[in-house]
Amino acid sequence: MTNLPFIDLAAQQRRLRPAIDAAIARVLDHGGYVMGAEVRDFEAKLAAFGQSPMALSCANGTDAIALPLMAWNVGAGDAVFCPSFTFTATAEVVPWNGAEPVFVDVLADTYCLDPAKLEAAIVAVKAAGRLKPAVVIAVDLFGQPADYPALRTICDRHGLKLIADSAQGFGCTLNGEHPIHWADVATTSFFPAKPLGCYGDGGAVLVKDTAIWNRLDSLRVHGKAVAGDGVDTGHHDPKYLNTRIGMNSRLDTIQAAILIEKLSIFAEEIMLREAVATRYMSGLAGSRATAPKVIDGGQSVWAQYVIDHPNRDGLAAHLKAEGIPTAVYYPVPMHLQPPYEHFERGAGGLPVTEAAAGRVLALPMHPYLMAEDQDRIIAAIRAF
C-alpha cells in the first residue's frame, strides 16, 4: 500500500511546469532579481483577485503582519488582541516593537475569533488601564473567513484597527466579500504549503489607499523616503534617504513570476478544494469524526480539512499505519507556549482553544486529491 502525500505540490507543478520554467527564464534574462517588473505586476493581479484597491508584497507572511503594526506605530503600552489557536507568527510579531498580545478564545464550531469574548477582553483591558487597546488580528483559520462583520463592529466601537491574517485564507469570502472589505489590512503568506504558495518564502499586505501603501513600501525597504514623507530628495536616490526605521522585506522577482502563473489557476483550485471538502463531508457523515463547520455565507479555501475526533491520537496512529499522513494544527496553543505564557488572556481563559488542541486532526487536502485516494482515507477513518 503506497503512502499518500499530505499536500501534493508535485501535482500542481506537473500542470504548470512549462509556464513556470518560462517565467523564471524571463527573470534570468532581464536580470531584475529584486523589485523587477513582475513584482508590481503580481501585486496588481493579487489586489484584483482579493477585491482590494492595492497590494504590497513582502518577504513572508510574518513580516506581512509586522509591517502594518510598524506603519501604525504600535509599540510599548499597546494591546493587540489575537487568537491563541493559530500559527505562531500571528502573535510573534506583536512583541517585536514592544506591544503585548492579549489572547482571546475562539468559537467552538469554526475555531475563529469569538466576537463576544473579544469584546469582553477589550473592556477588561480598558478597565485595568495598563495597556491601551490598539489592534485586533483575526485569523482565517484553516482557510475560512472569521466573523468580520461582528469583529468590525467591535473594532469601530472601541477605535481599534483590524488586521485579517489570511495566510491560510487568501481567496476566502464571506457573503461574496473578501476580508479586506471589513479589515483595515489583510495579510497573506506564500509559503509553499499555503493555498497560494510560491517556491520559497513570500507574503503580501492588501491595503486600501496609497498613503498606507507608501508607508509600507518605505518600511519594506529600510525606511527609504517615499511620497508623502515631505522629503526633498533633490538629486539623491531616495533609497539612501531614510525617513523611518524599516527592514528588508521584499518578495523576490522570481517568486513573483512564479506566483503570477499560480494565481492564474487559483480560482479553479479553490473550486477543486471545495469539491474535495464536500466529498469528505459526505463520506464521513455518521462517523465519529465531526466535519469542520464554515461560517454561514462563508467560502473557505480549505488550507486544511480539520476534523474533530474524541480519540484524535488513536485515529492518527491508525491512519499512519495505513499510509495516510495527518497533522495536528495546533497541538499547543500560543498562550501555553513558554515565551508567551506571561501575556494576558481574555476573561474566563481560553477553554475552547484548550479543548480543541486535543481533538483536531488535519487530513490530506489539496486540489489534486484523487477520488480513489480520498475513498481510501474515508474508509480508513470509518474503520477505526
Ligand X SMILES: *Cc1c(COP(=O)(O)O)cnc(C)c1O
| Contact set with ligand X (CB under 6 A) | 60-62, 86-87, 89-90, 139, 165, 167-168, 189, 191, 201, 203
Q: Return the number of the residue (204 or 378) whose C-beta is nearest ligand X.
A: 204
Q: Return the number of the residue (225 or 356) whose C-beta is nearest ligand X.
A: 356
Shortest distance (Å) from residue 171 CB to ligand X:
14
Q: Return the number of the residue (166 or 253) whose C-beta is nearest ligand X.
A: 166
Q: Return the number of the residue (196 or 381) whose C-beta is nearest ligand X.
A: 196
Shortest distance (Å) from residue 181 CB to ligand X:
19
Shortest distance (Å) from residue 253 CB to ligand X:
18
Shortest distance (Å) from residue 66 CB to ligand X:
10
For 7, residues 6+ apart whose C-beta sits below 8 A from its C-beta are 193, 364, 365, 366
Shortest distance (Å) from residue 170 CB to ligand X:
11
Q: Return the number of the residue (60 or 255) whose C-beta is nearest ligand X.
A: 60
> And the C-alpha cell for 333?
496553543
Q: Return the number of the residue (168 or 300) whose C-beta is nearest ligand X.
A: 168
Residue 327 CB burial class (10 angstroms; 0-12, 13-18, ≥19): middle
Shortest distance (Å) from residue 111 CB to ligand X:
11
DSSP-assigned beta bridge partners for residue 81: 102, 136
> And the C-alpha cell for 235?
538629486
Name the residue number minimizing CB distance to ligand X: 61
> And the C-alpha cell for 271?
473550486
